[in-house]
Structures are given as structure tokens and as C-alpha cells.
Structure 1
Amino acid sequence: MQTLDKDFNERLAILAKEELASTLAGISHGIEREALRIQPNGKLAQTPHNEKLGAALTHDYITTDFSESLLEFITPPEQNVDKTLGQLRDVHKFALANIGDECLWPMSMPCYIDDQNEIPIAQFGKSNVGKMKSLYREGLKNRYGSMMQAIAGVHFNFSLPDSFWDLWLDKVEGSENNKETKSAAYFALIRNYRRFCWLIPYLYGASPALCSSFIKGKNTTLPFKTIGKGSLYLPYATSLRMSDLGYTNSAQSGLMTCYNQVDTYIASLRKAISTPSEIFEKYAGKKDGQYQQLNSNVLQIENELYSPIRPKQPTKPLEKPTDALQARGVEYIEVRALDVDPFSDIGIERNQFFFLDVFLVYCVVMPSLDMTPESYRETETNLRAVVDHGRDPELMLSTEGESVPMNQWAAELFAGMRQVAKVLDTNHEVAEYSKAVEQEWQKIVDPALTPSAKVLAILLGENKDNGTLGVELASAYKQSLNQAEYKFFDAEKLSQHAVSSLDAQHHIEQSDTVSFDQFLSDYFTYQFN
């Protein structure tokens, strides 16, 4: 049951009390940054994942996402922002030093790809679990096409410490901190995030343009304009990555994922992974002796659900995400609405950490009503409007069924976030949080300061193709990272970790005792506790 008798100001006053505010120092972050490997000419690298980087199946910091050419860099949870940024830079430096003359594509929308069959599906070795990961990606290719899966993003993992929840839940809800109450509080954060997350692509969207090869053979009603030799753009777009062309799933449009309670969220996901899909039935069974997907249900597995935020609980080997959530509750949340920042050599910049901390704590402090189907659809409509034409000065959004100018709504959000930032500044004895909020506010005042506007200004000012800009940045970042000094990891440590990950993969492969067919059957027939 929700407790909404305390308004924002009352809840803010509780947050500001020294005992509770001091726990905010325990906020943890982790980053997952995706990046395509490219040849020096800007085309997609066709080489396999380099063994010097270790085993994608078992490496803690370097893996692959959909494609063998799509690297993913992961940092462990840390409380210190500069340590996380340093670790991420170290991993980038190591990877670039071990992929020859290849570079990392610095944008979310892919480089020039003539045919989606040029995008190699990631391989994870001979073990059953490795084969399952590759087969899942084969299913994604068949269902949605490989081009969409070549899009890159940045995921921002965020958690508040138990010391915070102990006091917050007691003072605000009058309850103890346990699996159920903490999960409910995280879901309240998630609902508010979904209401306000249109702000994220406005502030950080950096994909207003794309290579025309991305939409070759696709039907689109978007009024694209042309620049350079073959780039397409929308004048007011912020994040085409998040648009209907990008990392979305129209087949999931009928899904009504419930974010009101953890149990209903789990139930809605489990329904999707057990409900047959007429659309995907055509990929059932084997073709030429090979499976085409894990199954023909609406979702093959939970990770197929596309969402700008996910509740997370670390999983044990072969444990399903919903089983982990049911058993141990929500441990952290994963913000998935961030484009790769093309103006950063590691895809994210320092100010984002401080602003996102403020934004997410604001989502905790703001009272959070349950979502109805209508309010859920409203959040989707607002997000779509901002990613397609967020910098339109006349843009109107919808809140509780009423139209409101985007700038007016943004001003209301920033007024509340300024108060949250003051609490964070006071507790940390810094001014970083308020500075971050004011820096982002300037993007509301002047849309030309947004990353999407800056990208377009370069392209239009020089009649330059999106791909040309990407190659120039990729080359410059390779050079600067090669010259950087290791700070938290070093080449020897990362090389040792790569060897250990290869040994771990080999051990998993040697430990298999059943056929792949039996493995899949066992995995999907396992009964939920």
C-alpha cells in the first residue's frame, strides 16, 4: 500500500536531516558502455573478438553485446565518480591497444553497413550457456533485424545503500527495510522515472542523424532531410536511437508491463516469456539443422524487453532475472535511455553522474502514484515526442491528460531538483550537484547547447556526413587514449584478467554434461519457486 500523505516538501525535509542525508554518500554507480569496432575507413570490423581481450562469456569488464563487433565495457559498482570514470577509461585504453588499427565508433547509431548480414553475431564458445547466448542473438536478428541490434548506448547503474533505506522507509513509510519494502520503493522511483524520463534524451540525446544505410529497405514516415553524401537527419530530433527506427520493439507495443509492484512486474514479464507469438512462430524449430531462436514466445527471455529503465538484482549462474527479483528483490536500477556521448572519448562525461544522481534521488523524494494503462501510454507518447522533435520550441507534452509546454514542465522539475541538489551538496561538502543541475538547465534555456544540436551544427555547418564525423572522432579518441596513463587498472592486470576469463570459459565448457537440446529444455521447463 502506498503512503502519499507526505508531499514533496515534507519528504525533502526528511531527506535533508543530517542522519539520513549522510547516507547519500553511499550511492553506487556502474557503467555499461557499448561501442562498435570499426576499421580505419569507418566500416564495421569483421574480425572476431580478440583473445587478448579475454573471453566475452566470463570477463568482468570487457564483453560483447549483440555482435562480435559490438564491444561492451563494464565497471564494477563504486561510490567515487572519478574512480568509475578512471576505470572505464583504463578499460577503453586496454581494448584499443589490443585491436590493432581498429577504432571504437563514438556514436549510438551505427557506422556505414551495406548489408545487415555483415554484422556478425557474438560468439561465446562451445558451452551450452555460450551457445544459448548466441542463439538468443540469432533470434533477435530474425525477429527485428541485425541493424537495430548494432545500435550502441550507455547504461547507468544506480543504487542507494541499505543505510539510506533503513531510515527513509522508517521516516516516510513507517516500515522496516526488507526485500518487499525496498523493492516497492525502487518501483516508486521507476514510475517517476518513466513519467519524467523524456528529459533524459532531451539533455543527453546525441543521435539526431544517421547513415542512410540504416534504413535501407525500411518504410518510414519520418520527414528526414539529407546532408552530405548520404546522411539523414530530423531538424529537432534528439535521439533517433530511442525512436521507432531505433532500439525499440513494435512487437512489444501490446505488452502492458506493470511497474506498480515487483510481483505484478514479474508476472507481466513471465507472461510475455511464456505466451506464444503468431509473429515469431515462423522461426520455430530448426532450419538446416540449426535453431532460429530460443523459443517462439513474445519474449524469448526477460532481457528482450526494451525499456528505458530496469529493476535489477544480480543473478546467479543460469538464474532468470525474474527469479532473482522474486527471491531477493530489487538491488539497483539500470537507466537505459542514454546515448553514447560523441564528445567524450569514453562515451559519458563527468557531469552526467552528478545530474543523474540528483534526478534519481528526486524520483525517490517525489510521491509516486500507481500507473494506469492510460498514464503508462502517456509516458510512452511523451518520450517518443522528445526523441523525434524534442528541440522544437513549440513542443507540447501531456501530464495527467493535460497538455503542457515542455519548457514549463522542465522548469517545474528543475525547481525540485535544485532543492535535492542542495541536500547532496551539503552532505558531500561540494557544489558539484548544484553545478550539474544548472549546467543541464542551460540546455533548457538554449537548446543549441544540447548534444543533439551540437552534432547537427557540425554536420550542417560543414555539410559533413555523420559517418565522416564519426571516423574523425574515433581516430582522435584512439590517439588520446593510447597516450593516457592507466589509473586504476593497468595493462598487466587486465591481461591477467583476460587469461583468467579464458580459463573460466574452458572450465564451463568442460563441465557440460547434457546436450544443448536437453539444456534448453531444462532451462525453460524449470519451475519457478
Structure 2
Amino acid sequence: MAYPPPPERRGAPIHDALVPTLVHGLKGIEKESLRIARDGSLSQRPHPQGLGAALTHPHITTDYSEALLELITPALPYTQDMLEFLADLHQYVCTHIGDEWLLASSMPTGDLRDAAIPIAHYGSSNAGRMKRIYRRGLSYRYGRCMQVIAGIHFNYSPAESFWPQYQDLMGHTGNLQAFTTDTYMKMIRNLQRYGWLILYLFGTSPTVSRNFADNRRSPYSSTLEKFDETSRYRPHATSLRMSEIGYLNPVQSMFSVSFNSIDEYMRDLHKATSIPYREYEKIGARTKDGYRQLNTHFLQIENEYYTSVRPKQPTKPNERPLHALAERGIQYVEIRSLDVDPFEPTGIGPDTAHFLEALSLFCLLQPNSGHDDGQRDEIATNALSVANRGREPALVLRNGGRNILLRQWAQELCEEMREICEILDGSDSAQPYTRALLGQMEAIRHPELTPSARVLATMRACGMSFTDFALMQSEAHARYFSNRTLNASVRKCLDLEARTSLLRQTRMEAETEPPFETYLDNYFSQAREDVRDSLRKLPVSVAETTVP
């Protein structure tokens, strides 16, 4: 049965004056990778000193675990340069991890009991202590197994020349920073609304190891089906990473964060980082043995809030993200729902990057006046349905209160993205953006072409468990980088950055600092006045007003 598309207003054709400003937007990647032994177990070795200091290196750091590397590219205008930089980082890392591999999947393998997962170390400075205590708090709250799920973040911002031109075309005569921030928030709402498409097209985690299911603190683990003795799955899943056994958790569903304006977003996040939660109070913040967590609030810090898209403004040393947003607005948007692609040595291929840039621009230019509770529920339900059942042939989503087949809605969105892709292609005869779009439209028509389907098909064809498949791909990627030549000047620059980062950390730890408790008080006090100012801008009915 075909469902009629809901009536909704689309944006007007792109104005000719805007076209030159749409190319060469800035793109960046943050890619997480677990270091593993060749049997699939998590590395128990410390972060290699040859890679520099995780606390201060701008491109090579760690996330939750000492074994969970995070590789960060700069923001670059050309996709190929960004992907080349990411490949260079991978190759450099591979030369410093000995006989270990980088795990090719988002979902972890091996022994996933808390005791087998080392929390990352960042040294003895106040900043380093805070990062470690925050991670210790996450282990008490959610368990370490959840925290070593890996992913990719795609960062995007239009070229600087876009903003004044777009402001003029939209007839806005106010402050450019405020206009930019409001437009970014509209973009985020559209990325949330259409975010299920990313899960369908690029989800690569339809299966997990039995160890993960057994150690993940979730009642939903028991609902997974048996693939083989050591693997669990859902037959039509696209991204279990983004399902209830992944990053979703019931505590964060107890509060709502509005993205209808930057002021509402700041207000709601400030509340979540200020209000104690009874179960976390039972854990306690400090004991005679030291800190267990930074505090007992719903969120220790705002970065604990998991959302598929996040507004970003780079922070200064010891600056809260809320303070940075209040002071300088939004600089770029971070898409956080991307699985690691096990079929790509760096975890992301050029077609994926081109499609995500086009989708980001599409969402930036589409109208969106805000989300009410019903629309937020639709967004959450659609995302969960696609994560768990995205390849079901007749899966129905909700759009504006009406039913629509996933395939129909996905094809409509891709058709509407054609103009953006043609603009981004410009005079390039290879048409990389249009080619990427057409490839994804084929995956919509033929779900067996999606990477999640390819993962299961490979496992079945080869008689492999999830762990066997992940190790096969990890070994293949290690061979790829061992055969790739790293430019001598690139290696020299990365060597220098590693040494410099170690010196930065040494200097930080040698400096005279305030007591750690004072450091924390200074950190958490930053956003209070900013949020009070934001609340004064909101209608009285929305603001609710008391800010700690």
C-alpha cells in the first residue's frame, strides 16, 4: 500500500547569487577506533607515547578508554584533502601500535566486562583529572561496555562568504552572529527530522557480539536474535549502535532538550547539568577513596548528553561549551550518528562524505519553524524504527502526523537534493556529489546494497561470526596501511606535533594551579550568568525562570 506524501512546504529554488557561496564549505572528521590485540580483545597497553599526549594533541587523542583512539582532521574545504589527512593519521597510528590493529567496526569485540576496559588517563593536571573523573562517572552510570562503542562525527560549516549573502537574501538586518546561530539551529532541526536517512544508508551495525549483549546494561539485549553461538542481531537492523542497546538510555529520556532556539537549548542543558538525580546521588560524587563522578546531576557536563546532531563552538582552556555558545554562537554543526564503515580502511568513504555535505546544505536551506512535542516524538520514533528495522520492505515512518513508506520518503528527499549536488559538482566532470546521490538512491531501491545488509551477507557467505568478520576487516585495513606510503613531510609534521603535545602536557603539570575543587567550581560557574541572560530573552511561559 502506498501512502500519500504529507503536505509540506519546501524551500524555493536556490537563488543564483547564493550559488558561488555554497561550494568549498568546511568539512572535518572525528573518527574513533579501538586498539585491539589480534584475537579481538581490547588493548591493555597505555596510549603509545610515540603518538603524543592524548590531552593536548590536536589530531590524535583518546575518547572514553585508553584503548579508544580518536583521530581528528582539521576543517578543510576539499573532501579529498580531508580524507587524505584522515588516511595519513591512520597510517601514522599504525606505525606506532606494534602488533595491534584498529578495530574495523563500531561495535566492540572481546572481553567487555568493566574490569577489562581501561579508562583513559590524561595526567595529573586539573584538566587531565577532570577528564578522567568524568569518564569514571560514565562507568558508574552506564557501564564501560557502552562507552567503547565507536563512531564517526562529520563536522560541517558553509564557507564564510555564505553568511552575509544568505542574510541579505533572507531580508535579515540584525546581528550576523545571531542570524548565523539561528540558521544553524534550523539546520540541526532538519538534520534531526531527516536523520533516519543517515541510519538507513550508512548504518553498519546490524549485529553485535554475544559478549557485548551480555555486558551491556540494557533489558533490550535479551530481545536480540541469535545469529550464531557468539553473535546476536536483528534481521533488518541498520545501526544497533543507535538503538536501545547502543547509546540510548532511559535516564536521558527523562528530560527534554529543545533545539527551537539556542537560548532554549542552553536553558535545558543547563538544567540537566544542575539538577541532582536520585540514583546518581546513591553512587555519590566523592568517597574516602576519591571522586567517583564530577557530580550527581542528570548530566555531569553537557557533553554527556547524547544527541545525533550537536551545535558546536570550539572552547578555550577550561571553558564550558555552554559558555562558548553564549559568547560566540555556533561555528559548525556536528553530525554524530555515523557508524564506522568496516568496508573502508578509514571508516568512511568519499561517497558518504559527499552525500553528508549535500544533506547538510539541504537541511541548512530548508525551512523549519520549530518542533513541538509531537514532532520530537516522531523524530525519536522514526530513528529508532530505522535503527532496528530499517531494511524491512514495507517499513512505515511518520511525517507530520501522517504515514509514509521509508522508501518513498527517502526517494523524495534524494530527488530534492539533486540541485544541491549539481551545484557542489560545479564543473567537475566526475560529478562526485551527483554520483554519490545516485548511489544512495540505488540503495534505497535495493536494501541489499546498504552496508548493514552487506555486513550480514558477508558473515553468512563466509560462515563468520561478528567477531570473525570484524577481525577479517581489521587485518585487511592493517595490510592496506602497511602498503601505503606516508609522505616524509607529513610524517615529520606528525612527529613534531607528537613531541610538542608531550611538552604541552609537561608544562601544564608543572604550572601552579588552584585546588581541584576550586577548578571545578570555576568551571561549573561559567554558564550561570550566560543562561540567565538567555532566559530573559524567552517568553515567560517558556522560561520558567529559576536558574541555579
Q: Is the 8 A contact 2:102 2:474 kept in 1?
A: yes
1:329-356 Cα offsets, whole Å, 9 max, x none, are 0110000010000001111001111111
The residue aligned with 1:212 is 210
- Say whether 1:8 aligns with 2:6: no
- Say whether 1:282 aligns with 2:278: no
Q: Could you tell me how far apart the structure 1 residues matched to 2:19 and 2:111 are?
A: 50
Q: 1:130 aligns with which of 124, 128, 131?
A: 128
Structure 1: which amino acid aligns with 2:14?
A
Report 1:466-481 matches (<5 A): 466-481=466-481
The residue aligned with 2:384 is 384
Pick which of 202-211 and 275-284 moved more: 275-284
Q: Could you tell me how far apart the structure 2 residues matched to 1:491 and 1:156 are?
A: 25
* Deviation of the 1:197 alpha carbon: 0.4
Q: Could you tell me how far apart the structure 2 residues matched to 1:442 and 1:176 are?
A: 44
- Say whether 1:521 aligns with 2:521: yes
SS in 2 for 1:250: coil
SS in 2 for 1:175: coil
Structure 1: which amino acid aligns with 2:98?
G
Q: Could you tell me how far apart the structure 2 residues matched to 1:337 and 1:489 are?
A: 34
* Deviation of the 1:515 alpha carbon: 2.0
Q: Is the 8 A contact 1:200 1:338 kept in 2?
A: yes
Change in CA separation of 1:222 and 1:372 when aligned onto 2, cut-off 3 Å:
farther
1:293-343 Cα offsets, whole Å, 9 max, x none, are 000001100100100000001111111101101101011000001000000
Q: Could you tell me how far apart the structure 2 residues matched to 1:305 and 1:114 are?
A: 23
The residue aligned with 1:439 is 439
SS in 1 for 2:208: strand
Q: Could you tell me how far apart the structure 2 residues matched to 1:257 and 1:223 are?
A: 29
The residue aligned with 1:30 is 28
Q: Could you tell me how far apart the structure 2 residues matched to 1:420 and 1:119 are?
A: 44
The residue aligned with 2:62 is 64
Structure 2: which amino acid aligns with 1:371?
H
Q: Could you tell me how far apart the structure 2 residues matched to 1:341 and 1:321 are?
A: 29
The residue aligned with 1:104 is 102
* Deviation of the 1:488 alpha carbon: 8.8
SS in 1 for 2:245: coil
The residue aligned with 1:194 is 192
1:79-119 Cα offsets, whole Å, 9 max, x none, are 01111111111111111110110000000000122412211
SS in 2 for 1:518: helix
Q: 1:89 aligns with which of 87, 94, 97?
A: 87
Q: Is the 8 A contact 1:20 1:164 kept in 2?
A: yes
Q: Could you tell me how far apart the structure 2 residues matched to 1:411 and 1:89 are?
A: 32
- Say whether 1:359 aligns with 2:359: yes
Q: Is the 8 A contact 2:126 2:513 kept in 1?
A: no
* Deviation of the 1:512 alpha carbon: 3.5
Q: TM-score, normalised by structure 1?
A: 0.95
Question: How many residue pairs were aligned?
Answer: 520
* Deviation of the 1:513 alpha carbon: 2.1
* Deviation of the 1:222 alpha carbon: 6.0
Q: Is the 8 A contact 1:22 1:427 kept in 2?
A: no
Q: Could you tell me how far apart the structure 1 residues matched to 2:134 and 2:221 are?
A: 30
SS in 2 for 1:26: coil
Structure 2: which amino acid aligns with 1:280?
Y
Q: TM-score, normalised by structure 2?
A: 0.92
The residue aligned with 2:463 is 463
Q: Could you tell me how far apart the structure 2 residues matched to 1:78 and 1:371 are?
A: 32
- Say whether 1:260 aligns with 2:260: yes
Q: Is the 8 A contact 1:227 1:459 kept in 2?
A: no
* Deviation of the 1:477 alpha carbon: 1.0
Pick which of 189-198 and 481-490 moved more: 481-490
Report 1:229-248 matches (<5 A): 229-248=229-248
Q: Is the 8 A contact 1:184 1:262 kept in 2?
A: yes
* Deviation of the 1:397 alpha carbon: 0.4
SS in 2 for 1:500: helix
The residue aligned with 1:3 is none
Pick which of 212-221 and 473-482 moved more: 212-221
Q: Is the 8 A contact 1:25 1:428 kept in 2?
A: no
SS in 2 for 1:464: coil
- Say whether 1:178 aligns with 2:176: yes
Structure 2: which amino acid aligns with 1:410?
A
1:393-433 Cα offsets, whole Å, 9 max, x none, are 11110111111111111121112111221222237675111
**5+ residue gaps in structure 1?**
1-5
**5+ residue gaps in structure 2?**
1-7, 531-548
Q: Is the 8 A contact 1:90 1:488 kept in 2?
A: no
* Deviation of the 1:35 alpha carbon: 0.4
The residue aligned with 1:47 is 45
Q: Could you tell me how far apart the structure 1 residues matched to 2:242 and 2:185 are?
A: 22
Q: Could you tell me how far apart the structure 1 residues matched to 2:376 and 2:355 are?
A: 25
Q: Is the 8 A contact 1:86 1:487 kept in 2?
A: no
Q: Is the 8 A contact 2:66 2:120 kept in 1?
A: yes
- Say whether 1:404 aligns with 2:420: no
SS in 2 for 1:36: strand
Q: Could you tell me how far apart the structure 2 residues matched to 1:264 and 1:114 are?
A: 38
Q: Could you tell me how far apart the structure 1 residues matched to 2:165 and 2:20 are?
A: 11
Q: Could you tell me how far apart the structure 1 residues matched to 2:308 and 2:408 are?
A: 23
Q: Could you tell me how far apart the structure 1 residues matched to 2:194 and 2:182 are?
A: 19
1:458-487 Cα offsets, whole Å, 9 max, x none, are 112222111111111111211210221225
Pick which of 497-506 and 222-231 moved more: 222-231
Q: Is the 8 A contact 2:213 2:221 kept in 1?
A: no
- Say whether 1:76 aligns with 2:74: yes
Change in CA separation of 1:460 and 1:504 when aligned onto 2, cut-off 3 Å:
same
* Deviation of the 1:254 alpha carbon: 1.9
Q: Is the 8 A contact 1:87 1:487 kept in 2?
A: no
Q: Could you tell me how far apart the structure 1 residues matched to 2:278 and 2:446 are?
A: 47
Pick which of 418-427 and 272-281 moved more: 418-427
The residue aligned with 1:144 is 142
Q: Is the 8 A contact 1:25 1:427 kept in 2?
A: no
Pick which of 67-76 and 172-181 moved more: 172-181
Q: Is the 8 A contact 2:285 2:294 kept in 1?
A: no
1:367-406 Cα offsets, whole Å, 9 max, x none, are 1121101111110000000000000011110111111111
Q: Could you tell me how far apart the structure 2 residues matched to 1:482 and 1:329 are?
A: 43
* Deviation of the 1:520 alpha carbon: 1.9
Change in CA separation of 1:7 and 1:224 when aligned onto 2, cut-off 3 Å:
closer
* Deviation of the 1:177 alpha carbon: 6.0
Q: Is the 8 A contact 1:207 1:339 kept in 2?
A: yes
Q: Could you tell me how far apart the structure 2 residues matched to 1:298 and 1:486 are?
A: 45
Question: Moved runs in structure 1, 4+ residues, more than 6 A?
Answer: none
Q: Could you tell me how far apart the structure 2 residues matched to 1:382 and 1:489 are?
A: 47
